[in-house]
Structure formats: structure tokens, C-alpha cells
Structure 1
Amino acid sequence: MAGKIFYRERVKRGQDGSKSPRYVVMATSGTDLKVHGQHFRMSEMKHMAESVGAELIHLERGQKHQGEAEGETTA
């Protein structure tokens, strides 16, 4: 059975156009992987998954947070 790496997009990203890493590893399952960084680029995530034989699983945000990506706030 292949392992899984669960990740999501960061909530707060640089608004100044900087090229900062935008993904966060939330959990791993079935892998012998220790994650020491906080934020990763997709290329780094793919390389980690390929190296340990894992599948990348993207965690979607809930409906409550759908508008926050565009700068909207929910009451």
C-alpha cells in the first residue's frame, strides 16, 4: 500500500507578489517521512512524494471559507 501525504494551501500568502511557498503538509499516512519545514512549493511536495512512494492528497477548504481566498470576510 502506498503512503499518502495530505496537504492544503496556506491561508495567508504574500500579497506583494513574492514567490513564497504556498502549501502546508497537514498529515502523512503509511510513510516513514518526517517533515521539518512549514511551507513548501508544489515541486518540493512532488519530489517528496515520489521519493517515498506516496500519493499527494489535496485537502479542500470548507464552504465557510470559500470567499476568503479573494479577500472577502465571512460574518
Structure 2
Amino acid sequence: MKIIVRERMRSEEGTKKPRFRVVGVQGGDLKLHVKRIRKCELIELAEITGAEIVYLSRDGEGVNKEA
């Protein structure tokens, strides 16, 4: 099972806001009812379910360069 996330643009370390956005889940019967999640919650979910966390990279500008 894989949990696919990306780091949010408006979140920074130490701001006490969820830093990651769930993009998708592959395999298993896991249903997430959140759009944004904290790293500690994400790691705990992965440990409980045995899932791998996949971090998507950002382009750094917030805009798709190809479009």
C-alpha cells in the first residue's frame, strides 16, 4: 500500500499547520477523510497500516511550467 502526498506551499515548519496534502492512496482498504495531514499523523498511519509514504516533488514556483 502507498500513501501519496505532496508538501503544501503555504505551510512551513513550526507554523502548527498541516504540512502535507494527501494526493492519493494505492492499494488496501484505507480511506482518508482529510485533505491535509501533519507529518506525525502521516507517519503513524503508515506504521499502523504498513503503507509506504511517497512524497511528490514540487516545481518550486506553484505553477506548472509546461502549461
For normalisation by structure 2, the TM-score amounts to 0.77
Cα-Cα RMSD? 2.1
Gaps of 5+ in 1: none
Which structure exhibits the higher relative contact order, with contacts defined as CA atoms closer than 8 Å and separated by 6 or more residues? 2
Q: Which segments of 5 or more consecutive residues in structure 2 lack a partner in the other structure?
A: none
> When the two structures are aligned, how many residues end up with a matched partner?
62
**CA offset digits 1:22-71 (Å, max 9, x no partner):** 1011011112111111211111001111111100000011xxx32x38xx
Find the counterpart in structure 1 of residue 26 from structure 2: 29
Q: Percent identity?
A: 40
Hey, which of these two has a bigger chunk of strand by percent?
A: 2
Max Rg structure: 1
User: 1:11 — aligned with what?
Assistant: 9
Q: 2:41 aligns with which of 44, 53, 71?
A: 44
More helix by share: 1
Runs of 4+ in 1 over 2 A off after TM superposition: 11-14
